[in-house]
Amino acid sequence: MRYRKIAFKIFIGIFFLTFTFTPLWSGEPGDVVKEVILKDISLKDGGNTKERKLKLWEEISPLFNFEEMAKRAMRNHWEKRSPDEKREFVGLFANNIKAAYIRKSGSRFGEKIISLMEKQGNKFAKVQVGLINKTEGKMSADFFLLRKNLEWRIYDVVFEGVSLVSNYRRQFNSFLSKSSYEELIQKLKQNRAKMDMEI
């Protein structure tokens, strides 16, 4: 009888630890994705101005892991770079994505979320989202997330079958097959200067 009580206490202790540890994971994958999409969809309500987009970018950009995105986009070229070069590249890469977001008119993700499915592992997660757009009808987007320091962050988006990271990888590989890494950095800096002038 005594051993049953001890076993029961151990079971309760394990159960309690299991269910109280989960909330420490800052933002479940589906919640992170919904926050990004719903903020973006809000642009359909007449808020499609540069000021509005800049404000939205400030709100959603912390939900992305730009270092992981840059690393995957550069792939074989990444390891050749020094820590300082990597930091510089991540900043320029994030700025390039920001410029694309600001230039895009209207909402990128349609009008409404109609479905959301989440597959979660210990470190990686995939969130599949069904969306409705007034002009194009039903669309789909897949978000890939990485959990680091107990926080889920997006490192790739596949929108209608097109991967953001793969698209940048093709561009970088094409550029670096003809030009140097230093020239790529210069090009990205020029893009940043151009965007700063447009805002």
Model confidence over 160-192: pLDDT tens digits?
A: 899 999 999 999 999 999 999 999 999 999 887
How much is the pTM? 0.81
Which residues have C-beta within 8 Å of that of residue 93, sequence separation ≥ 6?
66, 69, 70, 73, 168, 188
Write out the CATH class of domain 29-198: alpha beta
Task: Tell me what pLDDT residue 198 has.
Answer: 61
Span 7-27, average pLDDT: 37
Report residue 143's pLDDT band, with 50, 70 and 90 as the boundaries. very high
Place of tokens 């550069």: 74
Q: Which whole number is the average pLDDT over 135-140?
A: 84
Domain ranges of the chain: 29-198
Residue 28 φ/ψ, nearest 5 degrees: -65, 155
Residue-wise pLDDT for 45-58, tens only, equals 665 578 888 899 99
- What one-letter code names the amino acid at 81? R
So what's the pLDDT on residue 25? Answer: 44
Instruction: Share the mean pLDDT of the chain.
Output: 83
pLDDT value for 137: 85
Q: What is the DSSP annotation of 43-77?
A: GGGT--SHHHHHHHHHHHGGGB-HHHHHHHHHGGG
**b or e along 62-75 (b: 16 or more beta carbons within 10 Å of the residue's beta carbon)?**
ebbbbbbbbbbbbe
pLDDT band (50, 70, 90) for residue 8: very low
